[in-house]
A and B are shown apart, each in its own frame.
Chain A
Amino acid sequence: MKSSKDSGWNPYLAGSLTGVVAILSVWIGDKFYGVSTTFSRVAGMIEKYIAPERFATIEYFVRVAPRIDWQFMFVIGIFIGALISSITSKSFKWVAVPDRWRSRFGSSILKRALFAFVGGVIAMFGARLADG
């Protein structure tokens, strides 16, 4: 594999292989890549547990029921795959505040946490609205 400075793979190669995996996934499992529906399902699982009465009134959780499906496992798999890859290539690194963020907004973990959380709320609302 072609190595760059930080010993990653060429992005054209890694991207193309991802495309091959996508083809095999559609062919063998009849499944297209997707992530964001899982966040709706997890939100449903949590609400069902902590506020079952509220949960029962929400129409969307009938359409997108809180259950563990192909995509839920796919999302867990992304975590495991990145863990395997980073540990075996010694590129695993604990990072609380990314470099580019730090150079612009400082090293406060709280500040990063706040913006990341709010960003996550906004991004997922948009993703679900667009049905992406």
Chain B
Amino acid sequence: MNMLIYGLVTGILFGFLLQKGRVLRYDKQIGALLLKDMTIVKFMFSSIMVAMVGIYILKDMGLVKLDLKTTILGANILGSLIFGLGWGLLGYCPGTQMGALGEGRWDAVWGIGGMIAGAAIHAELYPFLKNTVMTWGNYGKITLPDVLSVSHWAVIPVFIIFGLIVFIICEKKGI
């Protein structure tokens, strides 16, 4: 029961901030894909930069464990290409469409329906996917610091510098 309340409260805070950041809109999502309005990229990178530092500090203190997904190149690359195609058509991603509906953008309903159908199709095809795409390039639960054999504190600053450069470019171009 506690976990359900945690989930609800975390979701409410997340949805509140997504709405405040104005990233729930079709125009913003498509704007990012067209590289014309980078609001979402600014929001997302800021979030990742803060979270990666905080979570790794907690991990070093032994307070949290990472929850790694398996790296399977076939499934990851093919899946993300397919995802991008659908994202461009719909203009919302799975989480933001829930928030878009919350601020009255009810075309998100079509996306939610489509996504439930898409999840059902995935479940139907799972036995096939498991024996094909999901066996191509399975590297297990790895992280970038593991692969490079360096401390995560060598990787995190590189990502942060990259993010800051992206921010500077966005601000200079006014996008």
Contacts and interface: CB of A to CB of B under 8 A. Distances in A.
Interface residues of A, number: 95
A12 B42 contact: yes
* SS of A interface (majority): helix
B80 A126 contact: yes
Given A72-B7, A85-B19, A129-B79, A33 B14 contact: yes
Contacts of A64: 123
Interface of B: 3-27, 30-31, 39-40, 42-51, 54-55, 58, 63-65, 67, 69-70, 72, 75-95, 97-108, 110-124, 126-127, 129, 133-134, 167
Given A95-B105, A124-B94, A131-B79, A12 B63 contact: no
Interface in A108-132: 109, 112-132
Q: Which of B77, B107, B112 has the largest count of A CB atoms less than 10 A from its CB?
A: B107
A116 B10 contact: no
Interface in A25-64: 25-33, 35-36, 39-40, 42-44, 46-47, 58-61, 64
A32 B70 CA distance: 15
18 contacts: A15-B17, A18-B21, A22-B51, A27-B63, A31-B3, A33-B14, A36-B94, A58-B124, A59-B126, A71-B7, A82-B15, A114-B110, A116-B91, A117-B117, A121-B121, A122-B118, A130-B82, A132-B79
Given A11-B21, A11-B23, A131 B112 contact: no
* SS of B interface (majority): helix
Q: Which of A36, A85, A113 has the largest count of B CB atoms less than 10 A from its CB?
A: A85
A32 to B, nearest CB: 5
Given A14-B23, A35-B98, A99-B27, 6 more contacts: A39-B119, A74-B11, A93-B105, A119-B114, A121-B121, A123-B85
B49 to A, nearest CB: 7
Contact of A129 (B20, B63, B133): B133
B98 A79 contact: yes
Given A126-B81, A127-B79, A132-B79, A98 B94 contact: no
A28 B7 CA distance: 11
A73 to B, nearest CB: 3
Nearest to B39: A11
